[in-house]
Structure 1
Amino acid sequence: MAIQQLSVFVENKPGRLAEITGCLAKCGVSIRAFTIADTIDFGILRLIVSDTPRAAQALREAGVAASITEVLGVSIPDVPGAFAEVVKKLADAGANVEYGYAFLTPEAGHAYVILRVNDIPAAARTLRAQNVTLLDEADILR
């Protein structure tokens, strides 16, 4: 149930993010979700896009360092404590959440959360066994 995420090295300078997102637009790839982690000199742009392999190829052809990683997608109710319950279940099972980000969903009353965990198959089994709704790429791309 892993989802492909595009990770892109971004130099921390004016216009660089516009160039990268423009490249994705030019090749017909839609951005569904993103997050940026930065340092003084560079950032890592993590994206969920409509066509990850095409996006990675277009960026590489443009000279941009891009890689594909797998992440876990979870749908949670939009209520206080829902996210805390999910990460508690993962922690109790020994899973480490390395990073995560949330984004809007077409489902009223729910939020989608992307999590990078140390063992995706084990984390997915844990959450599925506890009736947590996992997402696949089709859920995110609709």
Structure 2
Amino acid sequence: MHKDFTLIPDDHPGALARLGEACGKAEINIEGISAFTGGGKGVVHVLVPDAEHALEVLTEAGLDVRAARDVVVTDIPDRPGAMGEVCRQVADAGINIEQAYLATGGRMVLVVDDVEQARALLGR
């Protein structure tokens, strides 16, 4: 089961490099990532397939993992309007999307308030 980890590193050169190097050394594939900075800190969301192993590796690398959430990972066509169609389907079911980002392999990651319902809805 995929997890979205939230990390809050200091905003300085090399923070993402350290994340990527630690995962690479441990043979953890980062399947999706969203990162931005503000106020001297970064906010990084990273999608990993093996949460227990990844949490151990990231913690040992000195990275501050603040949260780990179950997510919905769904295929999404690479064409105009595809994101809107997926999000409309979720919204019409009364599910709130709290965060979304794209992942490798033409997939979309959704952090939602009802993971099980969203997975059933999207066929995951």
Identity of aligned residues (%): 28
Structure 1: 5+ residue stretches without partners: 106-110, 129-133, 135-142
> In 1, distance between residues paired with 2:48 and 2:98?
20
> In 2, distance between residues paired with 1:124 and 1:51?
19
| Secondary structure of the structure 2 residue equivalent to 1:89 | helix
| Secondary structure of the structure 2 residue equivalent to 1:30 | coil
| Secondary structure of the structure 2 residue equivalent to 1:126 | helix
| Secondary structure of the structure 1 residue equivalent to 2:76 | strand
Alpha carbons 2:2, 2:50 under 8 Å: kept:
no
Q: How does 1:52-63 map to 2 (within 5 A)?
A: 52-63=51-62
CA-based RMSD: 1.9
| Secondary structure of the structure 1 residue equivalent to 2:31 | strand
TM-score computed with the length of structure 2 as normaliser = 0.85
Alpha carbons 2:29, 2:49 under 8 Å: kept:
yes
> In 2, distance between residues paired with 1:49 and 1:3?
6
> In 2, distance between residues paired with 1:16 and 1:125?
36
> In 1, distance between residues paired with 2:69 and 2:34?
14
> In 2, distance between residues paired with 1:23 and 1:43?
18
Structure 2: 5+ residue stretches without partners: none
Q: Which residue of 2 aligns with 1:35?
A: 34
State the Cα distance separating 1:40 from its structure 2 match: 2.2
Greater percentage in strand: 1
